[in-house]
Amino acid sequence: MTSENPKKAGAADADNWTVAGIREALAARKISARELTQEYFRRIERENPRLNAYLTLSQERAYAQADRIDALVARGGELPCLAGVPTALKDVLSTKGVRTTCASKILENYVPPYDGTAVEKLDQAGAIFLGKTNCDEFAMGSSNENSAYGPVQNPAAPGRIPGGSSGGSAAAVAADLAVIGLGTDTGGSIRQPGACCGIPALMPTYGRVSRYGLIAFASSLDRIGPFARNVRDVAEVLSVIAGPDENDATSARVPVPDYGRALEEDVRGLKIGIPQEYFGEGLDAEVREKVEASIATLERLGCERVSLSMPHTEYAIATYYIVATAEASSNLARYDGVRYGLRVKGENLSEMYSKTRRAGFGAEVKRRIMLGTYALSSGYYDAYYLRAQKVRALIAADFAQAFSQVDAIVTPTMPTPPFPIGERVDDPVQMYLADIYTVTGSLAGITGISVPCGVTREKLPVGLQIFGNYFAEGRVLQIACALEKAGAFRQ
């Protein structure tokens, strides 16, 4: 934390800005929100051509937000939680007046007429929206290579994937082109890029954060969650965006606890489950070594290691690619050239639909729409979709059983370090396996965070995942914070 010694804006190295540090520097009038915003836009101008993390910059909105904060400071008013904090928003989140493409050609010129709930809450908490970040098209991908606007470079490992689908937000925060970011996670799309870029990244429990204004991919799986460079900032953002919302019937009416206080609690005596299925064949040796080192750190801090078996883990990817694609085929039926986005003219309505969708969607999106349509089609529904929903229940039951014995579950986030851009683009099954440790929690609906646990000998970031039970965000943040304080992020 730099809160005791906030840096001046304009300094070439702005790396250590935190949410609290910015709030205190603003209150002490050491910087203005406008200066800080200018500094970040300068950084983006310099670095983004190389990283391709941002698709759209929202200067007009950012400076209006900054001026609102500076006026508040001038009046001596109390600063909201995220006052002046430079923020990156994944381009599947609706932002009023700011182009929102889902990294797709089909929405290339779409400008939403409203803010999504999480976005609106950040705005009310004083955040500064720098722009919209690159991702896999409609959040479908594990490497950010499915963007219609080109891949994102991993700032920690040039030439390698930043993870996907929220690769742009992860890269922006990791490269300090933003202090916080929002991503979305359907099968691993927050945690996996967090691991690849070496920063903490949280998937909240299903229903913890409203999905209103999140452009839908798979509605029973989609979550919105934060990226930051330290655990406390992740907790600060979650505190702002969590809570029920009458515009999302699936948002849970469960009180939001004080996540900041959870960070202070001792982890001594906590039971940490280690499921053997996450440490088997396919796990890279160096990733295993780093994750084991962090588990040893937790044991040193007084946690108890409990070996577990979660027997349905190996069915998670197959289950996920039925459930998610089935929901996607339904959700993406709306892109037909009638109400928004691209329209390609046709002789009749049906021809207009298919020409528009042919021109507007990329290869992976088409592949998933077809797989989902197939799984739902007459004659195949029972064999694929219904069966997958049943296996989903078994996977959720594995977690219920585990959480009857332990307080949290620790696994690798990803089986390998970030791989080179281009390596898996022609092999969908290999690409899907990058999510093998994350999709389980997505299907169950529980929370999970990825935190750094060092780098490989080639200096490639490795991520460790902590799963918590429903609404146990405080618990996973507490354990993440203990690892951070113990130096395990940089071991």
Partner 1 sequence: MKISREEVIRVAQLANLELSGDEAEKYRAQLDAILEYIDKLNRLDVEKVEPMAQVLHGAPSGEGDEGGTRDDVLRPCDIGEAILEQAPEAKKPYFRVPKVIER
User: Which residues, numbered 150-169, are part of the site for partner 1 (CB under 8 A)?
Assistant: none
- Given candidates 42, 393, 400, 459, which one binds partner 1 under the rule CB under 8 A? 393
Nearest to 413 by CA among 145, 234, 185: 185
- Residue 136 near residue 364 (C-beta atoms within 8 A): yes
Give the contacts of 423 (CB within 8 A, at least 6 positions apart).
none
Kindly write down the DSSP assignment for every residue of 189-251, as one continuous string: TTHHHHHHHTS-EEEPPTTTB--TTBPPS-TTT-EEEEEESSHHHHHHHHHHHBS--TT-TTS
**Token pair belonging to 24:** 């205190």
The minimum distance between CB 373 and partner 1, in angstroms, equals 4
Known catalytic residue: 294?
A: no
61 lines the binding site for partner 1 (CB under 8 A): no
The minimum distance between CB 393 and partner 1, in angstroms, equals 4
Among residues 32, 58, 90, 450, the one annotated as catalytic is: 90
If the CB atoms of residues 60 and 351 are measured against partner 1, the closer one turns out to be 351
DSSP strands (E only) in 144-188: 180-185
Taking the C-alpha atoms of residue 442 and residue 148, their distance in angstroms, rounded to an integer, is 25
If the CB atoms of residues 232 and 424 are measured against partner 1, the closer one turns out to be 424
The minimum distance between CB 127 and partner 1, in angstroms, equals 23
The minimum distance between CB 7 and partner 1, in angstroms, equals 40
- Residue 328 near residue 140 (C-beta atoms within 8 A): yes
Q: Binders of partner 1 among 301-320, rule CB under 8 A?
A: 312, 314-315, 317-319
75 lines the binding site for partner 1 (CB under 8 A): no
If the CB atoms of residues 288 and 355 are measured against partner 1, the closer one turns out to be 355
Nearest-5° angle of CA 231, CA 450, CA 482?
Answer: 45
The minimum distance between CB 115 and partner 1, in angstroms, equals 12
63 lines the binding site for partner 1 (CB under 8 A): no
If the CB atoms of residues 271 and 387 are measured against partner 1, the closer one turns out to be 387
Strand partners, 56: 132
- Given candidates 308, 366, 423, 425, which one binds partner 1 under the rule CB under 8 A? 366
The minimum distance between CB 264 and partner 1, in angstroms, equals 23
Q: Binders of partner 1 among 82-121, rule CB under 8 A?
A: 110-111, 113-114
- Among 46-54, 62-70, 72-80, 340-348, which window interacts with partner 1 (CB under 8 A)? 340-348
Nearest-5° angle of CA 377, CA 381, CA 383?
Answer: 130
Among residues 189, 210, 294, 450, the one annotated as catalytic is: 189
Q: Binders of partner 1 among 457-486, rule CB under 8 A?
A: 470-471
If the CB atoms of residues 199 and 369 are measured against partner 1, the closer one turns out to be 369
Nearest to 218 by CA among 243, 188, 247, 191: 188
324 lines the binding site for partner 1 (CB under 8 A): no
Strand partners, 468: 447
If the CB atoms of residues 4 and 347 are measured against partner 1, the closer one turns out to be 347
- Residue 55 near residue 103 (C-beta atoms within 8 A): yes
444 lines the binding site for partner 1 (CB under 8 A): yes
Q: Binders of partner 1 among 242-281, rule CB under 8 A?
A: 246, 249-250, 252-255
At residue 71, what is the residue type? Answer: A
Known catalytic residue: 165?
A: yes
- Given candidates 5, 124, 309, 350, which one binds partner 1 under the rule CB under 8 A? 350
425 lines the binding site for partner 1 (CB under 8 A): no
The minimum distance between CB 69 and partner 1, in angstroms, equals 27
Give the contacts of 463 (CB within 8 A, at least 6 positions apart).
191, 192, 194, 195, 196, 198, 412, 413, 414, 450, 451, 452, 453
**Token pair belonging to 456:** 């490989």
SS3 at position 415? coil
- Among 42-50, 68-76, 166-174, 339-347, which window interacts with partner 1 (CB under 8 A)? 339-347
C-alpha gyration radius of the chain: 21
387 lines the binding site for partner 1 (CB under 8 A): yes
Give the contacts of 332 (CB within 8 A, at least 6 positions apart).
138, 361, 365, 369
Taking the C-alpha atoms of residue 254 and residue 448, their distance in angstroms, rounded to an integer, is 18
- Given candidates 57, 293, 352, 425, which one binds partner 1 under the rule CB under 8 A? 352
288 lines the binding site for partner 1 (CB under 8 A): no
If the CB atoms of residues 59 and 247 are measured against partner 1, the closer one turns out to be 247
- Catalytically active residues, by annotation: 90, 165, 189
